[in-house]
Amino acid sequence: MAYGLVYDYLMGQCIEAHNYFGAHFTKQGKTDGVVFRLYAPMANDVSVIGEWNNWDVTKHKMNKIDDAGVWEVFIPGLSNYQSYKFHFLNAKGKYVDKADPFAFYAENRPGTCSRLFDNRNFAWHDDYWLAHRTRNFDQPMSIYEMHLGSWFGKAEDGHTLSYEEIADKLIPYIQGMGYTHVEFMPLVQHPFDGSWGYQATGFFAVDSRYGNPFQLMSLIDRLHQAGIGCIIDFAPVHFAKDKWALAEYDGTKLFEYSNKWRVSPWGSYQFDLGKDPVRSFLMSAMNYFVDYFHFDGIRVDAVSNIIYYNGDSSIGLNEGAVEFIKRLNAKIHIAHDSVMMIAEDSTAFAGTTKPIEYGGLGFDYKWDLGWMNDTLKYYSKDPIYKKYEHNKLTFSMAYFYSDNFMLPLSHDEVVHGKGTIINKMWGDYEQKFALVRNLYTYQYAHPGKKLNFMGNELATFDEWNEQRGLQWDLKRFPKHDSVTRLCKDLNFIYRAYKPMYFEEHNPEHFRWLMVDNADQSVFAFERTVGKETLVFVFNMTTNFYDFINIPMLQDGTYEEIFNSDKDVYGGWGQYNGLPIKTEKGSFEGLPYHMCIKLACLGACIFKKIK
């Protein structure tokens, strides 16, 4: 088995390398201990140094067990949490101390050592969840994206909350708000807080800021028991340049490019995804978090920088990296057919979510960054000029059916001087709140899965800062608390009505009702599944309409089930209280119309009741 696994690792076909390499508690005969295995083909004179041998390089020499460059030693009598490193002579003739690339745990910064951890035999309680888990294609999916350390902030005594402590606060909040999934920004070991986990040093080590692997397992186990799915953000493009980690690991560019592509646009080192052992390393890392931690999905960061060198399409495809992505998605889906693979992809690459056998990359979902950019630009415009930007709100449906899209309002939009979501809205204080309510309604109404970064629901004016918790005190103010109420109600409406999520990539279920009314900047569309019909209407200007005719495809009676201008959401209470019967009369080529009240900057949802 070991020979086959090493062979598969070298051939770029292995997704279980973590079960062989690294430090594993085991028995040899009747003796308990830890077996250490290292892949470092150009290393010599390799030792394991650690707390137990007082960092003595002569005590525990490793044996080279094959010509591929695998080193091994068994050390008896070791225990959890003991720190260690590998010490060896590298290809440049220098002795170095390196962290274990496959370590399951590590010292918290500024420490740089790997730490022993026996991650076997955690007692899971989520069998029911796993048995019924799907990739959510025809199910509602509203994702709450979060940075674990800055969601709640530190405890009163100043300590960072552990995975288990966060669970006590997070689970009731997510349940109460109606989100279906939590997406965690990277939870692998990284030395610099400001990288948010995207520049990692340990791709199998859980972030020790918040505890050990069992504590993360406990958080996910409890989320699953509460009916909440878990997605992990993973960055397989690049890694931190720290010399004690992956950089020039054995004195050669073992993990990174050896040419001009070595340094990424972020100043980190880029993985050479054309190297087969690197492919196995990264595929195994992602599979490890699915297999051992029961994550329900993986969001792959910066896919544009995988498809194209440095994300520049003019240079041409990075064929080796494209092959890596296809192999990754295929192998994860074969091993875990209910796990979602999600691409954060800003390119126009054709077929990101198409099956591999049809020339696609094999992802299940793709972030629709085009929708995000166009939408936020549109909402930032003065209403006087919105008629000239009309296509920014209609264009997304022209390409929507080309991929399985997710609509993100993510962490990337609320940092680095970009302002928060509400800051991006046009207008004065009241108008910004009205528009942000309109925007969130539009996001939920538009076909596609939903993703919102933590704090969007608070309508905070301060950008996110990883060093502090969210501004929960804003909920003392009615304007902000009302936006939270709106987000909560949208989540539950979204989950309650089939037309909002079922077969959303089937064009038969969507129909524009008012799409060309650029002068008034009023939009309307219908979503129908079976006998259920919902109609969505948006007013993008400050004009108030006591009566406005909305073209309708179906004759019938409609009841308003949601209005962003209701006073409970911080609006002025201009809503349609009684059911409305359609009338004959053609507008925009449709046979009927419905006369409604439409608030300035308002959004409303109608349900066909007969």
Positions annotated as catalytic residues are 301, 344
Count Cβ neighbours within 10 Å for each residue of 512-551 and write b for 16 or more, e otherwise: bbbbebbebbbbbbbbbbeeebbbbbbbbbbebbeebebb
Which residues touch 135 (CB under 8 Å, ≥6 apart)? 338, 339, 340, 364
**Helix or strand run (H / E) with residue 45:** strand 44-50
Please tell me the distance from the alpha carbon of residue 162 to that of residue 70, in angstroms, as a whole number: 36
Beta strands 229-234; 202-206: pairing state: unpaired
Distance from the first to the final alpha carbon of the chain: 65
In sequence order, what DSSP letters do the residues of 169-189 get, joined into one string? HHHHHHHHHT-SEEEES--EE
Structure tokens at 214: 């069992």
Residue ranges of E strands in 475-567? 510-514, 522-529, 532-539, 545-552, 557-563
211-216, long-range: CB within 8 Å, 24+ apart, which pairs? 211/162, 211/163, 211/164, 212/105, 212/117, 213/104, 213/105, 213/117, 213/119, 213/292, 213/293, 214/119, 214/122, 215/162, 215/163, 215/164, 216/163, 216/187, 216/293
Task: Say if residue 422 is exposed, middle or buried (CB neighbours under 10 Å; 0-12, 13-18, 19+).
Answer: buried
Residue ranges of E strands in 249-312? 269-270, 297-300
Structure tokens at 338: 């209910």
* Encoded amino acid at 570, one letter: G
Contact predicate 483/533, CB 8 Å: no
Residue ranges of E strands in 365-508? 365-367, 405-409, 449-453
Contact predicate 377/425, CB 8 Å: no
* Encoded amino acid at 544, one letter: F
